[in-house]
Every structure is written in structure tokens, then in C-alpha cells.
Amino acid sequence: QQQVKQSPQSLIVQKGGISIINCAYENTAFDYFPWYQQFPGKGPALLIAIRPDVSEKKEGRFTISFNKSAKQFSLHIMDSQPGDSATYFCAPFSYSGGGADGLTFGKGTHLIIQP
């Protein structure tokens, strides 16, 4: 049973365009919703995260939109740049489980920004 479904699997966006990646989850115990960015040969790094008490969070060119009723959250990258080319993972987390089971990663989205 796949708890986290991420889409699309891959995405090509022109420089300056908007990149949108979606994540749907099933576990209603999740209460922290981060996006991680991973470059080839590197470990994932936290990019931006949101808690369920707000519907949107913006940090620079990156925005998370959260829809609790639909159990979905998305990452928007504005004015996409070639340096944003990476793999992006959603990885929701549940505090109620004491964090013992770690982050639950989606399968990832390969984002390519064409110059």
C-alpha cells in the first residue's frame, strides 16, 4: 500500500516558467509536510515545509499549497532556473507516532529546467 503518491514522475520546464509538483497522501496522522531536494550523488536536503494549520507558505521562489480535505499538497517553483534541476520528494511526517517511523518519502519527481 503506497501511502504517498507523487506526480508527475518527471517534468520539463522552460527557464522562467512555473514548476508544479503534487503529492497525495492517505495517512491522516501526517501533520508535517516537507519537500526535499536531491541533486545527483547527494543526500536529500529540506527545501520547504508546511504545517496543517496554514494553507500556503512561501519562501522566495518556492511555495507550498496545502489542501487538508483533499489530503494533497503541492510545490510551486516560480521563475524556474537551470539550478533547480534536481529530484524533488515529498516526505510527510507524523508527530503522533513519535517520529519513530521516520519520513515517508514519495517516489520523486525528476525536474529539468531547460535554458
Partner 1 sequence: NAGVMQNPRHLVRRRGQEARLRCSPMKGHSHVYWYRQLPEEGLKFMVYLQKENIIDESGMPKERFSAEFPKEGPSILRIQQVVRGDSAAYFCASSTLAGTETQYFGPGTRLLVL
Which positions touch partner 1 (CB under 8 A)? Answer: 4, 6, 32, 34, 41-46, 49, 89, 91, 93, 95, 97-108
In three-state form (DSSP H/G/I as H, E/B as E, the rest C), the secondary structure along 1-44 is CCCEEEECCEEEEECCCCEEEEEEECCCCCCEEEEEEECCCCCC
Contact 20, 76 (CB under 8 A): yes
DSSP 55: S
Indicate the residue among 5 and 17 with the shorter CB distance to partner 1.
Answer: 5
User: Residue 15 Cβ, how far from partner 1 at the closest point, in Å?
Assistant: 25
Indicate the residue among 44 and 75 with the shorter CB distance to partner 1.
Answer: 44
Return the closest-CA partner of residue 86 out of 27, 43, 50. 43
Indicate the residue among 11 and 103 with the shorter CB distance to partner 1.
Answer: 103
CA of residue 18 relative to chain centroid, distance? 14
User: Residue 23 Cβ, how far from partner 1 at the closest point, in Å?
Assistant: 11
User: Residue 36 Cβ, how far from partner 1 at the closest point, in Å?
Assistant: 8
Indicate the residue among 1 and 115 with the shorter CB distance to partner 1.
Answer: 1
